Amino acid sequence: MKNIILQLDNVSFAAKDNNLLQPKIKSILKDISFSFERGKIYGLTGESGSGKTTLAKLITGVIKDYSGKVTFNYKNNWNNVLSSPVQMLFQNDGYLINPERKIKDIFNETYRIRNKSKKNYFNEIENLFSALGLDHKLLSNKGSQLSGGEQQRIALARILIIEPELLILDEPFSSQDIEAKSSLIKLILNTNKQMDTTIICISHDIFTLREFSDEIIIFSDGKIIESGTTNQIFDNPQIKHTKFLLRAQSLTLSKEEIISHFNDEQNKRNKNS
């Protein structure tokens, strides 16, 4: 297990649905087994509601009442209670930034967990801001003065300054313009290369994942239905669902194919309900 940072063995998770009158237990994650290699970038994609974010929450410890086994293999000793070797940027994390606090004060919270001089620490922050396409002057701004995209990138910078061993990004491109998206992709690649950080990036956009992922994982109905190197998934997909996903995002599907696919998916859900 030397090169494996995260091992999932037969991981499943179920929860009550939203039916107030007759709530039922719904299986959300189903018998997932997968090995994540240290230093790789994984792109995790699939339709909405397939369980991608639920799996991420389980890995980060937000969800605890699951079955199966989750095993981590870290390089460093992480006894500092103020930090964790696993960090996650949720889709709307930017909105958690206090609108009345200055951004530099927010970063002061993470300063305490880094064994570096304050000067070097803020040099790192400024370098991160540059890499993310953020103006250094934003450090003096309050959260309420930032756009949604700026908030999201600052939330990511606050995570990266901790130098986690495993970083999970949940739809990081959703609120970014084209220029910011390009900067973010470069930062993901640089973080992976310079810090040897293992990265799991969740996105509906498989073609964006293609730009930086070593491996692609296809998720559907709470299960990993296909995985492989990025070239394998794009050049030789094995599963019908994966082929549909690729053609759907390249806008080459006919109306009949779309209807047929969603009918098939609905039939699967009806069988499992």
Predicted pLDDT at 37: 97
Residue 263: the pLDDT is 67
Q: Is 247 exposed, middle or buried (0-12, 13-18, 19+ CB in 10 A)?
A: middle
pLDDT of residue 16: 81
Of 15-29, 139-153, 250-264, give the lowest mean pLDDT range. Answer: 250-264
Per cent of the chain over pLDDT 90 is: 42
**Among the listed residues 68, 36, 57, the one whose alpha carbon sits nearest the alpha carbon of residue 227:** 36
| Residue 232, pLDDT score | 97
Could you report the per-residue pLDDT of 237-250, keeping only the tens digit for each? 999 889 988 888 77
Strand order through the sheet with 41-46: 86-89, 166-170, 198-202, 41-46, 215-220, 223-229
Domains of the chain: 1-75+199-273 (3.40.50.300), 84-164 (no CATH)
Express each pLDDT in 192-214 by its tens digit: 998 899 999 999 999 999 999 99
Residue 81 pLDDT more than 50? no
Share of the chain above pLDDT 70, in %: 84
Q: Is the pLDDT of residue 109 over 60?
A: yes
Whether the pLDDT of residue 98 is over 70: the answer is yes
Give me the pLDDT at residue 261, please.
60
Per 3-state DSSP, the chain is made up of helix, strand and coil in percentages (nearest 5) of: 40, 25, 35
- pLDDT over 80 at 121, yes or no: no
